[in-house]
Each structure stands twice: as C-alpha cells, then as structure tokens.
Amino acid sequence: MSVSIDNRQRASMSFALEMFQQAAVRVPAYGDFLAKNGVKPGQIATTQDLAQVPPVDKDNYLTQYPVNELLWDGSFDLASAISTSSGSSGVPFFWFRGEQSTEDSIVYHDRILTHSFKTREKATLCIVSFAMGSWIAGTYTYSALMALADMGHRIVTVTPGINCSEVLDILDRLAPRFEQVLLMGYPPFVKDVLDKAETEGIDLARLDVKLLFAGEGFTENWRDYVCAKIGKVGDIYATAAIYGTADAGAMGYETPRSIQTRRLAGRNAKLADSLCLDSPTLPTLVQYDPALRYTQTDRDGFLLFTVNNAMPLIRYRIKDKGRLFSSQDMGRLLQDCGEKALPRNPYTDYPFIALYGRDDISTTFYGLNIYPENIRAALECVELCEYTTGKFVLTTVLDDTTQDQELDLCVELKAGGLRCGDDLSKLICERVTDSLRRHNKEYNRLYEEMGACATPTVRLGEYGAKEFTIGVKHRWTARQ
C-alpha cells in the first residue's frame, strides 16, 4: 500500500482506457458490440469519452455471443478455471477466469488477513465453509489461501464446505491446537454453525474465532449477534465481508474503517440518511482499490466495473446499485454529521462503495439465489392450479430474536375458491421444495445439509390482497 491513492486512481483510469482499446481489437464479441452501438474506438481517448460507451451486461452482451468470442483473441488459452452463476432465469452462466483473477483474490485476502485477522502473527486454522463446487466463493478463497501460506501467513486451511457437522467436528477436535480460528462462509450458514457450536458446548471465545463472510449483506444487529457468540461484541477486527461475484471476482471488502463508519451511521440519523438515500436499510459499506477495479456508476445508480480477466469486462453493469465515496468525501460527510475524524490506518485513503444490492427478481437465502421461475414451475401443476392463481411473493425473513433466516412464501388463492388451510399449505411446500431441488443445484445442496430448515413457510393470501395488487409488473420477491 505504499503507492499513493491518487497514483492508483490515475493508474486505474489509464488501465481502463488501455483495456477498452485492447478489447475493441482483441475480443471478437466486444468489437462487434461496439460496432452495433456506433462506437468508434479511435474516438475514445479520455475517461470522459469512456463514460459515453454503452455498458455491457448479461442481456445485451454476454448471452448474445458464443462463449469463446467473449475471451481475449477468441481463445481459451488465457483461461484456467470456470465458475458458474445463475442469471434471472436461474440458468447457469459459465465464467472463465485466468491468472489475473487469482492474483486479485490473493491481494485482497492478503490485506484482510494481515490487517484485520493478524494471520502473519498467529497460527491460524482457516475453515472454508463456502460451497466447494463450481461456484466461485469456495475455490476462489481456497486458491488465495494456498498462495498466502507461501507468502508468510501462518495459516492452515481445511475445506468442509457447507457441511455443518464437519465444521463442528473441526472446531471441537482440531481448532484448540491453533492460536486462532478464521471461519469463512455465507453469513446465515456461519450463524448456524455458531448456534450449534454453543449448543454442543464448544467454547468459541476460548478458540479466538474470527469470521470472514461473502455472498450477501447483513445488518449491524446481525453482526452483534454473531460477535456475541464468539465473545467479541463491538470488535471491529473480528469480522469482515467481501463484496464479490462470479462475474467480476472481488470488488471490495469490509475494513475496520468501513465497519466503524457503518456502525456510526447506525447511531447517527443524519449520517444514516446521507448514506441510505432511498434504501430502507443501511447499505453494506466496503472499501476498494481503484488500481484493481475501475469502478463507476451509471445515471440509474447501477455500479459499473471494468475488470481484466480471461473474459474481460468493460463498464460491466452487475445489477447492483450503489454509490461511490472518495476517502475525502466520506471524511467530510462524517464531519458534517458531527462525528470526529477516524484515526488513520492502512485504509484511510481508500475509496468506499455504499452497496444497496440488487433490484432484480431473485431473493437471497443462505447466500444463494432463489428465482421465481422455480416457484412458478411448482404452482403450475394441475392439483394446485385448481386453488391458486399462480401469483406469489417470496421473501427472506430474519427472526429478530434468533437471527435465523427462513423463506416466506405467500401464495394467492383464487377468487371464491376453496380454502384448504394446512393441507393446501403443506402440499404447496412439498411441490415448491421438489421444484427448487430439481431446478436449483445450489438449493439442492443446501437442502441436503439442512433438510426441513431449508423449506419455505407457506402462507395463503386472499385473492386481491395487498401483496397481489395489480400493477405494471407483479413483484415476485420482496424484502423484509
């Protein structure tokens, strides 16, 4: 971090322009995309010019071309790994990654583990409890940790994936041999592990457990809940979350500075209002390195990332909404809201992303996406069509006391139709669960681990109830 942030910003701008020019020539799909949109690469000479180039996304770019045409030189030679993710339809998309993706992951994990978790100083057991499969989180994390072990970090890694019983066995029998434990996983899964560990009498505070998350956001109340389980309430060095996706890898991460700022906003209404805009909750707040990700927003508030990888992305709209704050802007905002300047640390000069999340049609449950198409497939069966309209609202609900997640599925009954109560609710639950297991591989893996806890709670709504008010489009998902 010896290079000044101003130099990194300038390097980021130069990188973005150079990458644009290279991709226009060397990536067959991108050259065609620019031509179809009337963009002449030779006229793009400044970052102001680049801001006028149409963003790419899955709909207008990635799904419109053969996968090899999305790669450098139309070749697989620079790709070394493939991750998968699902789009709004739930159909997996294949993301080709190369050495640059791994190197970026190493840089981000090195900083997190060095500055938040002190793994260069303490013998640390790293438990990777992200799903270990074709999804990015598990393999991306594992690759970085293997490299960090050769770079002076005193870490040993074990990869039980989303198998709670294995994680508990590791905490019970192996973790006490280390100076500290770093448990990594999707927030709700990590919470389940901590709850069950407490039930089984595992002394988490004695193990000096730290937590690293990815996959979805959470509230500060939720952070307090899990920190209480490990005996670290209020410790801004006990947890961190990575903002990343299969699309673009890691885009940013929580730092002690960003966590402290967000917690201040939880107590300062003026600061909260300044960060929230139209969002009903505080945004996730992360910091990022502009030299690794050229980051912008468009006029609609969507984040745009320019990322060098085997499958390069230029001004890629990831469908996450957010705002960008320079370190100076955030400092002035804190001052204007009556807060004292925060002490300097390694992240003082790094910019912030206030992340409001996705405004699309999926809902997040235990770090995976649940899509309306999966639910519709179940409700369209003959035995259910007799009683329901096929409309529903799916919500991930967080219990205020236990902080447990559950899927709440409210299904609209037909006007004047029969109401079968518990029997119909039970049948809908069975059909929906079966459909999710068939059509959503990530959900099926979760169900194999959690069983009935992964099934939705079904409520029957009267025809025309407020959840089903007719509008331009029906909202299949909602937020709690």
- Looking at residues 272-294, what average pLDDT do you find? 87
φ/ψ of residue 332, rounded to 5: -65, -40
* CATH level 3 topology of 97-360: Rossmann fold (3.40.50)
pLDDT, residue 472, reads: 44
- Looking at residues 130-145, what average pLDDT do you find? 90
Of 147-156, 369-378, 395-404, the poorest mean pLDDT is in 369-378
Q: Please provide the average confidence, as pLDDT, over all residues in the chain.
A: 90
Which residue carries 């006029």 as its tokens? 299
pLDDT, residue 310, reads: 94
- Looking at residues 136-155, what average pLDDT do you find? 95
pLDDT bracket for residue 398 (50, 70, 90) = confident
- Looking at residues 60-83, what average pLDDT do you find? 95
Q: Which residue has the higher pLDDT, 341 or 422?
A: 341
Instruction: Render pLDDT for 426-460 as a digit per residue (tens, 0 to 9).
Output: 999 999 999 899 888 889 989 998 898 899 999 99
Is residue 83 scored above 80 in pLDDT?
yes
HEC sequence for the chain? CCCCHHHHHHHHHHHHHHHHHHHHHHCHHHHHHHHHCCCCHHHCCCHHHHCCCCCECCCCCHHHCCHHHHCHHHCCCCCCEEEEEECCCCCEEEEEECHHHHHHHHHHHHHHHHHCCCCCCCCEEEEECCCCCCCHHHHHHHHHHHHHHCCCCCEEEECCCCCHHHHHHHHHHCHHHCCEEEEEECHHHHHHHHHHHHHCCCCHHHHCEEEEEECCCCCHHHHHHHHHHCCCCCCCCCEEEEEEECCCEEEEECCHHHHHHHHHHHHCHHHHHHHHCCCCCCCEEEECCCCCCEEEECCCCEEEEEECCCCCEEEEEEEEEEEEECHHHHHHHHHHCCCCCCCCCCCCCCCEEEEEEECCCCEEECCEEECHHHHHHHHCCHHHHCCEEEEEEEEEEECCCCCCEEEEEEEEECCCCCCCCHHHHHHHHHHHHHHHHHHCHHHHHHHHHHHHHHCCEEEEECCCCHHHCCCCCCCCEEEC
**For the chain, domain boundaries:** 97-360, 365-479
* CATH level 3 topology of 365-479: GMP Synthetase; Chain A, domain 3 (3.30.300)
pTM of this structure: 0.84
Is residue 27 scored above 70 in pLDDT?
yes
pLDDT, residue 49, reads: 95
